[in-house]
Structure 1
Amino acid sequence: MSELSPGMPAPDFCLPDADEETVCLGDLSGRYVVVYIYPKDNSSEYTLEARSFSRLDTRVFGISPDSPGSNRRFAAKHNLTVRLLSDPDHRVIEAYGAWVLKKLYGREYMGVERSTFIIDPEGRIAAVWRKVKVKGHVAEVLARLEALKAVAR
């Protein structure tokens, strides 16, 4: 698959949330959506990221390979308002280009690259962030989202 960039259709998906209810991107047309992909529940960086995204006043979905049960415990433990979606087979993570070859201490393995996407009301990619660093990221996403909404008015 080619690298996702602004203007391209967002890969559609249907995934279970923490309560095992199915969330489909196609059902969210007509509004802006933020999708962030993260490696694992409950690590300190991802907890900070999820808490920060919980403060946004828009539809936000976090996708990880973790199970709905793990997502449920993570959300309850940290009072998260974002909907966490489970993608254990990496199908959606791969479609968004976030399942990548990583290296650690000379060892290569496949893993999740933290990435964020804004999807516009027509279901197209409006903004992309790769290799996300948590500090300041949510503020950057919020600023871009507000700019997109202002242009659309």
Structure 2
Amino acid sequence: MLEPGDPAPAVSARNQHGESVTPDFTEPTVVFFYPEDFTKGCTVEASEFQAALPEFRELGVAVYGVSMDDAERHAEFAEAEGLIFDLLADPEGTVAEAFGVSTDHGYADRRTVLLADDEVLATYAPNPGDHAREVLDDARETFVVGG
């Protein structure tokens, strides 16, 4: 797993709309890796990031979810759960590998990375519960003067 201070990797993947996406890690960004669409914990985690999305956007922080599901499954998941941020399809695990996230079990481990200025600022090995709020609080402290 990448550590704070490590350079951000250059990655591209298709989102749930089939579009090629290359996140700009010079800008504040959250990338959360999760095992699989439609599973209980992953649904909770994605829904929490969706609920917090207006606050992330207010801070200028982009949010991306990444799993080894394909773009078509991501589209079904996004529609079913009302997710409007990009879900990046990583069926070969190349995005996970670039971040040092294990895919040894056939799915990406649950990990989250906060980035800006092409650098890793923080990493998390979360439980799906209140994780989005934890990352949002850290982003607020990091990106708001006097946060």
- Using structure 2 for the length normalisation, give the TM-score: 0.87
CA RMSD of aligned residues (A): 1.8
What is the percent sequence identity of the aligned residues? 29
2: CA distance, partners of 1:59 / 1:149: 12
Matched, 1:95 2:101: no
C-alpha displacement of 1:30: 4.3
1:63-82 alignment, distance < 5 Å: 63-82=66-85
Unaligned runs of 5+ in 2: none
Contact 2:28–2:62, Cα closer than 8 Å, also in 1? yes
Query: Given the superposition, is the C-alpha separation of residues 6 and 75 from structure 1 closer, same or farther in structure 2, using an over 3 Å criterion?
Result: same
Higher RCO, 1 or 2 (CA under 8 Å, sep at least 6)? 2
Tell me the residue number matched to 1:135.
Answer: 129
Contact 1:50–1:82, Cα closer than 8 Å, also in 2? no
Aligned with 2:27 (options 12, 22, 31): 31
Letter in 2 for 1:118: L
C-alpha displacement of 1:100: 4.7
Tell me the residue number matched to 1:149.
Answer: 143
2: CA distance, partners of 1:5 / 1:42: 29
C-alpha displacement of 1:150: 2.4
SS in 2 for 1:88: coil
Letter in 1 for 2:88: L
Unaligned runs of 5+ in 1: 102-108
| Structure with the greater alpha carbon radius of gyration | 1
SS in 1 for 2:73: helix
Aligned residues: 140
Query: Given the superposition, is the C-alpha separation of residues 72 and 110 from structure 1 closer, same or farther in structure 2, using an over 3 Å criterion?
Result: closer
Letter in 2 for 1:72: A
